[in-house]
Amino acid sequence: MSHPFRITVLAGGVSSEREVSLGSGAASAAALARLWPTRLLDVTAASLPPGLDPARDIIFSTLHGTFGEDGGMQRLLDAAGIVYAGCDAASSALTMDKAATKRAASAAGVRVAADATFQVPGELPGADALITALGTENLVLKPNDQGSSVGLALPEGRAALASALAALTPGSWLAEPRLIGRELSVGVLNGSALGVVEIRPRSGVYDFVSKYMKGATEYFAPAPLPEEAATAVRLAAERAFAACGCRDYARADFILISAKEFYLLEINTLPGMKETSLLPMSARCAGLDFTELVKGLVGPAVRRFQERLLSQHS
């Protein structure tokens, strides 16, 4: 008798993070295959892959960035009646928008930095106006709706800011004061925070190169923090997860200024899933190896699939 379902891992995609996603998908599929019948599909267009069966497939997506993480794929899966792991379409769309994520988290009592958002082309603010609005000359410029530090700029001073603004590519942009502190990342599994990981890029900036070039960044898992600070960061991650309507799993990133002062940067709903990625590191702090982690990530979707099956037969 054939198994009642199979896990279909989606990888690749159409965003600038395609190569990263292929690595996440391969690692996840290898681990999931130890638990359930599993196949890996390379997504090459912004559409549902052919051959998905709502009566058999449970989707585990490792698509990063545009279409994968912004609710686009999730909306198509919902419309097709296909069960999938991870955040739903509304939560995915919200958390892809960094400014909207910060507003939701702030309303739940999580500290966030001031920001300004604008469109390019459109009402591009001048350097003076941004400095006045945000209270400092040292700002961070980053796309408001992209992942993996794509397009990150750290201009220091008025002249550098004016040059950086003039060089921005079309899209939605976010400006924030540059916070100098320790970068932390926390996985959240079914609403409960895992371990706190500290990220120390050797360059001092956790940009695309620091993330993906071997040896460019040191990671400490668990982060060497006082217990009180670690607990506070974990609680903030859980609050932000709930405030943004997340389900199943996500990863929250913070900047720690002092033991009692830290700021949410963003929530990542489809974080990197190679064995060396931040979410698996966070899980290892909590005693979960990679296979146990993927079982925990997909488990709620398996339950949703089984509950639907029971309701259809009752």
- The 3 state secondary structure assigned to the chain is CCCCCEEEEEEECCCCCHHHHHHHHHHHHHHHCCCCCEEEEEECCCCCCCCCCCCCEEEEECCCCCCCCCCHHHHHHHHCCCEECCCCHHHHHHHHCHHHHHHHHHHCCCCECCCEEEEECCCCCCHHHHHHHHCCCEEEEEECCCCCCCCCECCECHHHHHHHHHCCCCEEEEEEECCCCEEEEEEEECCEEEEEEEEEECCCCCCHHHHHCCCCEEEECCCCCCHHHHHHHHHHHHHHHHHCCCCCEEEEEEEEEECCEEEEEEEECCCCCCCCCHHHHHHHHCCCCHHHHHHHHHHHHHHHHHHHHHHHHC
175-230 pLDDT per residue, tens: 999 999 999 999 999 999 999 999 998 876 666 666 666 777 899 999 999 999 99
**Residue 212 annotated to the active site:** yes
Asked if residue 74 has pLDDT above 50, the reply is: yes
Mark whether 282 is an active-site residue.
no
Q: Does 84 participate in catalysis according to the annotation?
A: no
Q: Which residue has the tokens 């292929």?
A: 22
The active-site residue out of 266, 277, 284, 296 is 266
Average pLDDT over residues 2-20: 92
**Do residues 209 and 216 lie in contact, with contact meaning Cβ atoms separated by under 8 Å?**
yes
Confidence of residue 150 (pLDDT cuts 50, 70, 90): low
What sign does the CA torsion over 84, 92, 223, 212 have? positive
* Catalytic residue from among 268, 277, 284, 296: 268
Please tell me which residue in 21, 24, 144, 148 is annotated as part of the active site: 148
Q: Using 50, 70 and 90 to split pLDDT, how confident is the model at 1?
A: very low
* Domains along the chain with CATH numbers: 6-86+291-313 (3.40.50.20), 94-112+180-269 (3.30.470.20), 116-177 (3.30.1490.20)
Q: CB-side exposure of 203: number of CA atoms within 13 Å?
A: 13
Q: Is 266 a catalytic residue?
A: yes
| 251 annotated active-site | yes
Query: What's this model's pTM, rounded to 2 decimal places?
Result: 0.94
The residue from 13, 187, 272, 296 that is catalytic is 272
Q: Is 268 designated active site? A: yes
Is 18 a known active-site residue?
no
- The catalytic residue among 17, 69, 137, 248 is 17
* Angle at the Cα of 69 from the Cα atoms of 311 and 244, rounded to 5 degrees: 75
Instruction: Judge whether residue 12 has pLDDT over 50.
Output: yes
Distance CA 17, CA 9 (A): 16
Q: Tell me how far apart the alpha carbons of residues 110 and 96 are, in angstroms, rounded to a whole number.
A: 18
